[in-house]
Structure 1
């Protein structure tokens, strides 16, 4: 029992393996030691927190910064997600590249001359789709060097470019978004696409307002533009974006896209442009209207020189290539120099149907009657006379029309400034008094009624009483009378009194009807002054009427449009609206009139029009107070009309129809007939003359016993007798008040 108190204590876990307990203890100490060391190091690494006020505020700042970072990072993540969604939306709305190459809302008109050569354009011209791969590499490089030199390295936006543009705008005193935009080519293309919003005519906006709205520089618009540019970069590759840009960009002169610009300015394809030409087109992108070479060639060349320098600096041209391009600037084609066809093209556009010309939504091809050689002849002839015969500084104007006998207009000059488009056309728009140029229609009416070129009429003092206006006494230009003379000589010398007598004899209504049927559409004077050209008409009307005389007495409608078709169609939609019409006077009468008008040029007031020994016929005309001077005439091949005067009706000084207008006509027709063999006029000589002229004296040949029609004045003259029978001793019928009695010409 005594041993029970000495029982051993129960074994605990650490005593079960005595032999190992020491080892365990020995290893446990170092482990505990190792556990304590990192904590000590951590405590040593911590910076002691500042206490007091400074520590409190430091803690607040740290908490605010942490809060800002959390908000910013999470907002950024949300913004990126939203941006990705918007970009994705725009991505889904972008069509295939092919549908974006032609973005015009209206169509174009291309005009071809009689030889099939393009000479003019109107409307929004699109020469055809090009790609970045098939245009001239010089053009591609010039556009990149000028518009966006990092185009192939950015994702559609250029922060560096935007920052630079803002800095420049602020330094120049503008708003940050006014002026330089810093836009990449992708952003500019997005703007050209109007961010995918097509023009809607029913919106109440004009197309110009729509385009202006697309180019607004507001912050909201810029943001949308940037997103749209990112979507384009995701949808298309770089060359596709550049292709859209090269096709849709406006290049000035009505040309949209590189191909249209190349054709319009240089008459060649965009694939064949040399460095100088490519630089000029690329330079237009900055300000296409003001830099257009057809507006200011020198300014356009200066801009091209800057583009060439940029191409050299960026490695697209060697120093030698750049020097060659600078020394040989781009030259405009003949058509471009003519500034899109000038007066003739404007006139053709006005004569065609509006929905195929001025307001076309299609690409239209018009074949015309224009002969570019004759057009140059008319322009050169006009210039020669004004350079050599007219005093420097004169503001007198002139107009020319050249046509064939069927009314096909071959050349047209509507004013002294020939390289214009959309200008006032004095050949087709100016209504001017015709003066003695109207007299052939009086004689046409008489000849058609059976009068003869050799019928006699007396040039003497003559008066008519006009109800409401009193007595009217016409006079000749020279204020002299020559007595008895033939109708042929009356026309050749442009005598006024015989013209009035013949007009009164055949009847004013008859004369007016003949003139109207020959193509004078303007209102004709109702009184006796009709015979002296008191009526107004246009040069093209008068020239067309004279063409009717040349073709044998049939009316003519002047025309310039041969046929009209849509691009790509083989069959024309419409043909010409002009040509020879109905007969006005008998062919024999027309031939007799041509005979009389030939005497005007060979012996009368139009002698200055003679050239080359050709048979020529025509008529001079000078209105009251010399406000207008005319010469209209023809050879066997062509008819030409010339008008000269001031736009404000200032009287011409020392100019009559037989003077400068006849000389302009001669210089023009002489050039027109180069290489054209001479042909005789289709004239019919009359019976032997009854009256021989020698200055102002008259020798009368023996008169037949009963002349068929003696249109003589004075004693026994048929015309005078008729007038006495009707008016009672020389009275006149009613009519409009006449102009000054000495209207007429030499």
Structure 2
């Protein structure tokens, strides 16, 4: 053991050790823990692990750089598209064509045609019900996306694939912004010089391809940056086609409901929003029931998305939107279609301007014609009949006051039987035969023998016309022959004065169709339209001058005071002498007062007219006039099926009477411009006040019979002749 040194050694100072400071409660020193290094794997596994790690790092570096480059390129494209977008105001009216507003004779609007634009509206100025209905139907996330909805696109692709279509066929998943991009054709305006029609241009704007969809998406993003959400919605509400020729919400609201877009109800707003899916098919003017069914779906969507309370939705479902009376009337019907077809195409069907056309239409008379037709079909025609009818009402100068082209009157673009249907005229043609004779100096009291009569037609053999009753009445006056629509006297007179003259008189009175060359010309074997025949009768009423039926009075560009063009019709050159015309009116008055048209009488008025029924009763006519108006009526089947038990003196005359009686309500009893006949130029005249008809001698003592026998014997002048039984009662 070694003892401690208690005493320091002498001669050497002892160094004092510094005293340790006591540290009370000292915090422990934290040292950074070193991450244990993972041992590197060696061998083959380590080698392949290193390669995979390197490849992944390389892919990541390439991917984010490529993504950054793509984003940068897309941003540049969006920025460029942003700079090309025009001001908001330039996008609100996107019609390629102009509109045509049709006014009646009093200056009241009765129809629209072309691309109607009611005026600019905004998302704030339209009814909130319309705005909400559009969003609920077309794009419920409109206010939450940036122009493109990935969720919507994915959903549309899934639905398309599940239904067996291509991913871009069918549902598109387009947002309202994307639909606006399509409406403005991605900023590509129509260029006529590009060799593409306007229809082809519109189709190209709506085609779906991957490239087009990508550009549409970028354009939509640019729009979202350029315009506010409400601005985009405003463009949509102004440019979208909503059926019936209406572009934009304002035009559609006026067109269908007769009110501004700011005042539509939930049911009306739902109907307008529903039209956006298929505006032509769902248009209420085409199919109101289908349009209401679609609106019911929109109302349900509005309720589900909180735009309507349950009470409001129930009320809208129970009270669906209806076309206003004004909207129904403004379909314009057959008259509007006819006026549009008679005007210059570049100001009517293909106008790029907004045009106003003042017409001859009298809406009171138009209503009278529609009601007269409806009354007869409801009360006198068997239920389920497919027979059709047409009516034309005009003034003596050819101004058309009303027109019905078929039983469905609230239509647009339908087949117009008043102006487009060429039908045989039957005995309605006979007044032109007598007009030619009277103009040559014959008297209504001249006698002609109604007896068996035949003509030899070169190449066809013998032709023997017969009367409707298969009876003969001996010597009769021209008046009596027309009054009872006898066929044999009509053919004899036509052969006497010459078919060429009869054809010329009919043509100059306005019958433009090709006329038959044979002797059956006198019996109405030729075809004509109702408007031509009615216009020709107007020539008889006005004293023997030709008439061109017309409906257009003047055409003016919207905003201009001076019209660009005036009327294209009216009274033309004289065809027959005035005395002859007035005597013919006298003869035609007897048709109604005593003859085959007696059912046309009403109200104690002086009326004149003529019935007509064609061979096999395929067509039935009644055309007649008062001192104020001329009205023509045709009845038949579109497929030429014979009418059953109908002649011109039956149902067509009833339609004529029901129409004319309504037309003349409140009008004074004006006399017809007729002239009593001169003394007979032949053997004598029918004894006044007697029902007996003098029996002519078979040698033919009248001038007409004698001329026929002297010149033609038993042969005719023509070459062909249709059936001998044309004519009517």
Provide the TM-score with structure 1 as the length reference: 0.88
1:232 aligns with 2:229: no
2:707 pairs with 1:717: no
Name the residue aligned to 2:62. Answer: 71
Q: Which of 670, 674, 685 in structure 2 is aligned with 1:690?
A: 685
Partners of 1:602 and 1:696 in 2: how far apart?
Answer: 14
Residue of structure 1 equivalent to 2:549: 558
Q: Do the aligned residues in 2 keep the contact of 1:157 with 1:230 (CA within 8 Å)?
A: yes
Matched, 1:201 2:192: yes
Give distance in 2, aligned partners of 1:474 and 1:243. Answer: 72
CA distance in 1: counterparts of 2:690 and 2:472, whole angstroms: 11
Q: Structure 2 matches for 1:586-665, cutoff 5 A?
A: 586-665=577-656
Identify the residue that residue 719 of structure 2 maps to in structure 1. Answer: 736
Q: Does 1:280 align with 2:271?
A: yes
Deviation at 1:120, TM superposition (A): 2.5
Shift in CA distance, 600/74, structure 1 to aligned 2, threshold 3 Å: same
Aligned residues: 707
Q: Tell me which residue corresponds to 2:95.
A: 104
Choose from 503, 509, 512 the match for 1:512: 503
1:521 aligns with 2:512: yes
Within 2, Cα distance between the matches of 1:223 and 1:666? 66
Q: Displacement, 1:468?
A: 3.5
Q: C-alpha separation between the residues in 2 aligned to 1:624 and 1:421?
A: 32
CA distance in 1: counterparts of 2:722 and 2:158, whole angstroms: 71
Deviation at 1:486, TM superposition (A): 1.6
Output the CA distance in 1 between the equivalents of 2:310 and 2:118: 33
1:210 match: secondary structure: helix
**Residues 463, 471 of structure 1: 8 Å contact kept:** yes
**What is the CA deviation profile of residues 19-47 of structure 1, one whole-angstrom value per residue up to 9, with x for unaligned ones?**
9x999x999xx9xxx9x977x6332x435
Output the CA distance in 2 between the equivalents of 1:165 and 1:305. 23
Contact 1:349 1:358 in 2 (8 A): yes
Kindly tell me: are residues 339 and 52 of structure 1, through their superposed partners in 2, closer, same or farther at Cα, counting changes over 3 Å? farther
Q: Which moved more, 1:685-694 or 1:409-418?
A: 685-694
Cα distance in structure 2, aligned partners of 1:536 and 1:180 = 52
Equivalent runs, 1:47-196 vs 2, <5 Å: 48-49=38-39, 51-52=41-42, 60-196=51-187
Bigger mean CA offset, 685-694 vs 501-510: 685-694
Of residues 359-368 and 418-427 in structure 1, the stretch that sits farther from structure 2 once superposed is: 418-427
**Counterpart position of 1:253:** 244
Which residue is equivalent to 2:289?
A: 298
Which range is displaced more, 57-66 or 285-294? 57-66
Distance 1:741 1:193 in 2: 65
User: 677-686 or 331-340, which moves further after superposition?
Assistant: 331-340
Counterparts of residues 106-505 of structure 1 (less than 5 Å): 106-334=97-325, 336-337=327-328, 340-505=331-496
CA distance 1:478–1:61, shift in 2 (3 Å) = same
Does the CA-based 8 Å contact 1:713-1:720 persist in structure 2? no
Aligned equivalents of 2:106, 2:265: Cα separation in 1? 28
SS in 2 for 1:742: coil
Pick the structure with more helix per residue.
1
Deviations 1:499-538 (CA, angstroms, capped at 9, x unpaired):
2222233332222222112111112223322222222211
Looking at structure 1, the residues matched to 690 and 470 of structure 2 have their Cα atoms a distance apart, in angstroms, of: 15
Distance 1:533 1:695 in 2: 31
SS of residue paired to 1:87: helix
TM (norm. structure 2) is 0.90
Secondary structure at 2:280 match in 1: helix
Contact 2:254 2:327 in 1 (8 A): no
Structure 1: gaps of 5 or more residues = 1-18, 701-710
After superposing the two structures, state which structure 1 stretch, 49-58 or 392-401, moved more. Answer: 49-58
CA distance in 2, matches of 1:600, 1:496: 15
**Cα drift, residue 714 of structure 1:** 4.6
Q: CA deviation at 1:560?
A: 1.1
Distance in 2, Cα, partners of 1:128 & 1:712: 79
Deviations 1:42-84 (A, max 9, x none): 32x4354464566666555554444333333222222221111
Query: Which residue number in structure 1 is paired with residue 7 of structure 2?
Result: none
Gaps of 5+ in 2: 1-14
Match of 2:538 in 1: 547
* Equivalent-residue separation in structure 2 for 1:208 and 1:66 (angstroms): 54
Distance in 1 (alpha carbons) for counterparts of 2:143 and 2:701: 98
Maintained 8 Å contact 1:346/1:422 = yes
CA distance in 2, matches of 1:168, 1:466: 73
User: 3-state SS of the aligned residue for 1:290?
Assistant: coil
After superposition, the C-alpha distances for 1:197-255 in whole angstroms (9 at most, x for unaligned) are: 12233334333332222222322221111110111111112222111111111112222
Distance 1:459 1:567 in 2: 62
- Call closer, same or farther: CA 1:499–1:718 in 2, change over 3 Å: same
Distance (Å, rounded) in 1 between the aligned partners of 2:525 and 2:169: 59
Q: Which segment is superposed worse, 613-622 or 137-146?
A: 137-146
